[in-house]
Structure 1
Amino acid sequence: MQTKLSDILSTIEAKPITVEPDATVFEAIGAMVRNNVGALLVTRGTEICGILTERDYLRGVALKGRRSKEMRVSEIMSTKVVVVPPDRTVGECMSIMTKHRFRHLPVFDGEEFVGMISMRHLTARICDNQAAEIEQLTRYISGDYPG
């Protein structure tokens, strides 16, 4: 069985976090740190404006010697946002993230932002699934398999 994003989202403690495009980068980075996340969805009301990631900060602020307290999120956010529904599989999301070269995917159930999936979430689930499969195979080979 393929793991769906909804299965992963149910285990994530952090609630979906958004930031306004007019917020300062300093405020946004503070929200990332407080919530232990690497990306924020940038919204104005119900409109998706972009996504702000740690990489956006590094490229748009740190490497250019700019000041995060004086910059707006809209100045450095990525405006190309790919969203996925919660019924997508881990494999499908890995393909999307690899193809587009990003590490975070906003998950929407219809119009509702329900979570942000990271590459870390996906790889952790893949490792868990592989460990369970190895355990089953080991039990089967050793004759300790109930099926």
Structure 2
Amino acid sequence: MKTVAQIIQSKKIKEVFTIDADDTVLSALQKMADNNIGALPVTENGKVVGVISERDYARKCVLKGRASVGTTVREIMSSPVITVNSKQGVSECLSLITDRHLRHLPVLDGGELIGLVSIGDLVKETIAEQEQLIRQLEQYIRGEV
């Protein structure tokens, strides 16, 4: 099973976009739209303090009648933040995401943000690993190995 570090290396977009906790929700939405992403790690003084996602916006801003212009990211972000490190495996991350009802996990090494993995990244890797295992078993059954 691959590690988080290997998933980050295989991602097309290597840059990790972030937003400051005191920025407006509108700024966060614009950054997500500009970069075609669904969530941003939220930082304060260089530390990851939360995550803001489209889901947070829908549930904590739109449904409550709040304006994205006058609301800060801090007010609607998911916090405390749950993170993983680059050495953790895919199955461990999937368990964490499932148990905690998350969609994104910031990846920290030595307290420094090095990436962000989504449930989609983890499911894609799990499917690829299962497909490879099936091919290997089929080859074994056919006596090709």
Secondary structure of the 1:133 match is helix
Any runs of at least 4 consecutive aligned residues in structure 1 with deviations exceeding 4 A, and if so which? Answer: none
Cα deviation for residue 66 of structure 1 reads 2.5
Cα deviation for residue 123 of structure 1 reads 0.4
| Corresponding position of 2:18 | 18
Q: How big is each residue's C-alpha offset from its partner over 1:72-106, in whole Å with a ceiling of 9 and x where there is no partner?
A: 11111112111111000001111111121111110
Structure 1 gaps, min length 5:
none
| Corresponding position of 1:50 | 50
Q: How does 1:76-95 map to 2 (within 5 A)?
A: 76-95=76-95
CA contact (8 A) 2:50 2:79 kept: yes
Q: TM-score, normalised on structure 1?
A: 0.92
Secondary structure of the 2:114 match is strand
Aligned partners of 2:136 and 2:124: how far apart in 1?
19
Structure 2 gaps, min length 5:
none
Q: TM-score, normalised on structure 2?
A: 0.93
RMSD: 1.2
Identity rate, percent: 38
CA contact (8 A) 2:38 2:54 kept: yes
Letter in 2 for 1:109: D
Would you say how many aligned residue pairs link Structure 1 and Structure 2? 144
Residues 5-14 or 124-133, more deviating: 5-14
